[in-house]
Amino acid sequence: RTVYVNGEYLPETEAKVSIFDRAFLMGDGVYEVTSVLDRKLIDFDGHAVRLERSLRELDMGVPLSKDALLEIHRELVRRNDVVDGMIYLQITRGAAADRDFVFPDPEEVPQTVVLFTQSKPGLADSPAAKTGIRVISIEDQRWGRRDIKTVQLLYPSMGKMMAKTAGVDDAWLIEDGYVTEGTSNNAYFIKGNTIVTRALSSDILHGITRAAVLRFAREAQMQVEERNFTIEEAQQGDEAFITSASTFVMPVVEIDGVTLGDGKPGPKALRLREIYLEESR
């Protein structure tokens, strides 16, 4: 596989990053995941805009223009012959001479930029979309700036492990009694013709897929309520689903052991998945 590191395209075995890189030592970096379907990037613009925002919120510079980033994404898709899959992009504050909590002078320490691809043939036809996924709820113990897409993913990883140990697919995170989002996705339930999902704030990541799906839902004459909701309310919904760049719209059929509807993916969630996949390709 060919990867991109700081201006160079290299075989993955030759790509190197310093052990002093601040993402390695301190989780001081941001990332984006963009899907590829039929060799085309999905929602690239949205991811590029959010990346710049994440960088600015952490007082990091923007090392590459949107056009330059787009070109790197396209080049990696070509070089690795990615038909379906994803591109991972990470930008860190770079490698200072010593470990230090204080940010290094950006004039002296260049940022680290890394991109790589992962092929996932048939990504849009995921079998999970046909059965739906099952989730449990766990306490949200992440930091308070979840609107910034940082590489600090230890708690979300632990959450996935808790789900795995419980024999289900994923976890929804609960803060002060209300669902924030999934470990790596935004969370929704549907009651009647209304989709409910948490409003945007620093409590959740402002999902690029979320923005597109809510727009398509409104265009399809569905009501959208952006507000807090509890697990109990979601369990009483007709349907539930999650969204993310890697899963698109994924139906949820069970929450904390309670089956939704007939236990099959709901028609509205499946319709939104279909619309999203049609419109964004």
Q: Does 280 engage in binding with ligand PDD (CB under 6 A)?
A: no
Of 21, 140, 169, 181, which lies in the binding site for ligand PDD, with binding defined by CB under 6 A?
181
Q: Is 149 known to be catalytic?
A: yes
Q: Given the complex with ligand PDD, which of 95 and 280 has the nearer CB atom?
A: 280
Q: Does 246 engage in binding with ligand PDD (CB under 6 A)?
A: yes
- Return the closest-CA partner of residue 188 out of 139, 263, 127, 252: 252
Cα 21-26-27 angle, rounded to 5 deg: 90
> Judged by CB under 6 A, how many residues of this single chain contact ligand PDD?
14
Query: SS3 of 130, please?
Result: helix
DSSP β-bridge partners for residue 178 = 175
Q: Does 245 engage in binding with ligand PDD (CB under 6 A)?
A: yes
How many angstroms separate the CA atoms of 107 and 208, rounded? 32
Burial class (CB in 10 A: 0-12, 13-18, 19+), 213: buried
Burial class (CB in 10 A: 0-12, 13-18, 19+), 221: exposed
Q: Does 184 engage in binding with ligand PDD (CB under 6 A)?
A: yes
Of 207, 237, 251, 266, which lies in the binding site for ligand PDD, with binding defined by CB under 6 A?
207
Q: Given the complex with ligand PDD, which of 95 and 204 has the nearer CB atom?
A: 204
Q: Does 205 engage in binding with ligand PDD (CB under 6 A)?
A: yes
Q: Does 243 engage in binding with ligand PDD (CB under 6 A)?
A: yes
Catalytic residue among 130, 149, 160, 164: 149
Of 73, 93, 198, 210, which lies in the binding site for ligand PDD, with binding defined by CB under 6 A?
210
Q: Does 137 engage in binding with ligand PDD (CB under 6 A)?
A: no
Pairing of strands 85-92, 112-119: antiparallel
Q: Footprint of ligand PDD on residues 5-44 (CB under 6 A)?
A: 33
DSSP β-bridge partners for residue 186 = 243
Which residues are CB-neighbours of 76 under 8 A, at least 6 positions away? 2, 3, 4, 9, 82, 87, 115, 116, 117
Interface positions with ligand PDD (CB under 6 A) = 33, 181, 184-186, 205, 207-210, 243-246
Positions annotated as catalytic residues are 149
